[in-house]
Structure formats: structure tokens, C-alpha cells
Structure 1
Amino acid sequence: MKHYLITDPTFYGITSETIESALDVVYSHTLPDFALFRDKQTTHYRDLAQTFIAVSRSYRISRVLLHGDYILAHELRADGVHLTSTQFDDIAEAKKLRLYVVISIHTHEEAFKAQKLGADAITYSPIYVSPNKGEPKGLEDLKEIVDKIEIPIFALGGITTEEQIKAVEECGVYGFASIRYFIDYPSHTVLDTVSIF
């Protein structure tokens, strides 16, 4: 099953230096198959994304993605883009640039729409309780959507333990995506040695 790391400035910091330091620590513990640079607040996304891509490439991460901006992802030679659930119209444009396209979805209807529009994969969330993400979908609903949809599905939302990973894997998902699992791996102290602020 594929492992998909998603960053958050709370844990990776807000400068190129802190992002590089945090990634070095995280990647030294576990190497995900996919990695996404996600920071909705920064005004320096391009510069930080360049650092993220460079570090991730040095660790040979298979697919390095940027969040939302498919044009920037193409310019910086990322492997792909992770679109938000409001960006269905951008799927085709991103595909024209030969990017690997993941899109966030939260309903079965959105999943079918993403598949029809040519997305390469989707994240379906939240599976478990996750901060500020609403009512969790649960494993039964996850299994139901996996059985319906042909494109790869990443389970997302509240996945922080090996037991949860095994549970979503048993539902037949392509992979899981998480912020907290990777910073807590293999214990809750991975980033304790990094001063990010």
C-alpha cells in the first residue's frame, strides 16, 4: 500500500531552512511513496516549494506534488499536483501538462466526477476523526467507495497509527495519506530535535 506524506507548516516550519531540516528528520525515519507540499498561509510558496522538491528528490521520493497550483507544479518540474475539492475544472488542464493529478473528494458523487474527468487518484476524507474536518466517514463507507471507483483511492483523515493503516488497507485502498503519521513515526518524537520556529 502506498504511503502519502502531506506537510503542514505547524510541523515543518515556515522557512526553507526549517522545511529542509524537518524533511531530513522525517525522511531519515520513513520514505513515503508520495509527498505533498501544502501550506495555505505562506506568501513564499514558490521558494518553499523549490526547497521541498529539491529535498524530496534527494531522497528519491517517487512522486513529489504541489498543492493546488498546477501551473507552478509544471514550472518547478514537480511530478504532480494535488487539487482541492473546488478544482474539478482544473483536472484537464493539469493533465495537459502531463502532471499526475490527485484531487480531494468528500462524497461518492465527487469521486465519480473525478474519475470521469480523468484524475489519476483521489483522496477520500475524513476516514477517522481529524481536527476541523467534520464527521468521519468510517471504514464501512470507505470500503463501499473502493468497491465503486476504479481509480486509486488514498484514505485520508485521522490516520496516525499502524492499526488504522492496516484497517484502511483491508478496505482495499491504493494507499493512505496523512500529516501526523509521518511526524509521529516511529514514535511521537520524530521532530522533537528540529527547532522549526
Structure 2
Amino acid sequence: MAATTSPMASQLKSGFTTKALVVPKGISGPALRGFPSPRRHTSFTVRAIKTEKPTYQVIQPLNGDPFIGGLETPVTSSPLIAWYLSNLPAYRTAVNPLLRGVEVGLAHGFLLVGPFVKAGPLRNTEYAGAAGSLAAAGLVVILSMCLTMYGIASFKEGEPSIAPALTLTGRKKQPDQLQSADGWAKFTGGFFFGGVSGVTWACFLMYVLDLPYYFK
């Protein structure tokens, strides 16, 4: 039995140790060797490198509090922008609302005359100056009426100012009197007076003194 199995065992052993040539049938070509063993795949993990210096965010929540709902940007947090906005009449809380309204009205009334003179329906007639001045004064009246309606709808007579008495940093301040019925009424009256005065001053400079302005 051992004699009969030894040639078979040696044949199987030689078959496993040597690579046999596989000749495809019906295909003319060179002989193919047996399939090689599968290749070994390696895996690695890519990790971000930690920077030694912490990164600086240009846009941050206002005062570091995301629940305020505002953002600090290089524009809104710039000292120059803050200085400019704090000097506008709407944000000068220490000034009487009447004077603030006069200042806003003078600027708007003075600038409204030119567009009505040059772009109005009577711009090509000799009445362009008078018609433009009257139209600008009429717009000042309409804006004053709109301010009055807003004050009646937003503020109740006799109630204190609804402006916050605390800043975002927790500092106490005097509430803005503009955010009350009396303060808004003073602002509206000042706007009407300043607007009409601005229109009158622009008309006086252009058509009474006859100064060489472009908007004539």
C-alpha cells in the first residue's frame, strides 16, 4: 500500500511546489501562469497638524456672546466707524430731540431742491426753480406727517422712554428721550422746521443771490 501511494504523494507534492502552465483551449496565445496570491494592502490615517499659534477669527459674536444676535466685523467695530455713527443726530442722546430734528431737517431740505429742479416735470421751463422748491417743501411736509403717524403708533403719551438704560457692557446710561412720545414730537417738529428752512435757504442761494450753482 505504501509502495502504491508514494508515487501519487510525490506527484501531488511536485504539483503544489511548481507553478503549472495553463494552456487556454481555443485561444491562440502564450501559456498563462497560475493566478498569483492576492496583494497585501496597507492602510494609514491622515490627521491634521495642530498649529502652535491659535487662529484669530476676524468676525466674532458681539462682546463674545452669540445670543445677542450681532456680529463684530472690521467695519462695524472700527473706531472710525463708531466715531462717525456716534456723531450722527440719531445717536447723540445727550442732545435735545428738537435740535436733532432741526439738524436732520436742514440737511434733507437743502439737498432735496436740486433733484426736483433738474428732474421735475417743469425742468425745461422758466418756472423750474420755483416748482422744484415747492415740490421739495411738499415732500418735507409729507415726511413730517409720516413721522407724526409713526410716533402716534409707536409711543404712548406719558410713558417713559423705551430705550435701554444699559449698554452691552453693562454700563448704565440715561435713556434716550427720543424714544418717547414727547421726545418724538419734538423731533418731528424740529424736522419740519429744519426741512422748510433748508428748502428756503437753497432757493435763496440759487435764485435770490443768483450764485453760480449747477442746480439752477
Normalising by structure 2, we get a TM-score of: 0.21
* Larger relative strand fraction: 1
* Larger relative helix fraction: 2
Larger CA Rg, structure 1 vs 2:
2
Normalising by structure 1, we get a TM-score of: 0.22
